Amino acid sequence: MKIIAANFKMNGNTQFIRNWFSNFNTDTENLVVVGLPAIYLENSVRNFNTSNLKIAAQNVSKFNIPGAYTGQISPAMLKDVGVEFCIIGHSEARDYFSEDNESIYEKYSCLKSVNIKSIVCIGESLEVREAKNQLNFISDQIEKFKTMEDEIIFAYEPIWAIGTGLVPTQDQIEEMSCHIKSHFSQKISVLYGGSVNSNNSSEILNMKNIDGVLVGGASLNAEEFANIAQS
């Protein structure tokens, strides 16, 4: 069983999401995780969560204790409405909201305390890869997690592959996945993300050290995403 995760980002509305779920063919042995904008989570959990389809948040506050954090949603609030997964550390959140490895780790810990599974996004820029520094860069991103003993789900998303149509070679993906796993003694899942679609998903999902995919753009089309989930 692999994890097939969708990230709608800031797309969709009530009608779009309703249509998406009615068009999405859930007939897969994989675990499907659908990351929705926060405002649609509660209703979607109520209507669309099943044993192999889980609704995910796309981000969360690093603060878990109620208080003066205007605009924030806490891990406990996600838990309250039945959310079981949360994407954290996405490169867009790191970039637009200055999130760093420290705050992403804090989010992971808070989510863990309420039993929500994180999908921790990591990935290097083109500049870092061109300087051949990608392995060290990823080691830094996961450094804080090394003390954790639980089964962590990372999504390796090279920034240069997100929304660009560029996909790393099989060797590049496998090398990074093995590199990530080499920091831990427990079972770690590594998803690949970056320009995944139904034409390349089988090849990616067949890679020995890849445990699933995280899909942005192509997930907005329910038929396309179902094809990925069934590949």
Residues carrying an active site annotation: 90, 157
Task: Name the token pair of 113.
Answer: 């305390």
Beta carbon of residue 194, minimum distance to ligand PEP (angstroms, whole number): 5
Give the nearest residue (CB) to ligand PEP: 216
Beta carbon of residue 214, minimum distance to ligand PEP (angstroms, whole number): 5
Beta carbon of residue 65, minimum distance to ligand PEP (angstroms, whole number): 29
Task: Name the token pair of 229.
Answer: 């989930």
Residue that has been written with the tokens 């003993």 in this structure: 149
Q: Give me the sign of the Cα torsion angle 213, 218, 221, 224.
A: negative
Beta carbon of residue 76, minimum distance to ligand PEP (angstroms, whole number): 25
Contact present, 61 and 69 (Cβ < 8 Å): yes
Nearer to ligand PEP, 157 or 211 (CB): 157
Q: What is the dihedral of CA 20, 26, 32, 38, to 10 degrees?
A: 30
Contact present, 34 and 53 (Cβ < 8 Å): yes
Task: Name the token pair of 194.
Answer: 């970056």
Q: Give me the sign of the Cα torsion angle 226, 227, 228, 231.
A: positive
Contacting positions for ligand PEP (CB under 6 A): 7, 157, 162-163, 193-196, 214-218
Contact present, 43 and 7 (Cβ < 8 Å): no
Beta carbon of residue 24, minimum distance to ligand PEP (angstroms, whole number): 17
CA distance 119 to 84: 11
Task: Name the token pair of 32.
Answer: 């499907």
CA distance 140 to 149: 18
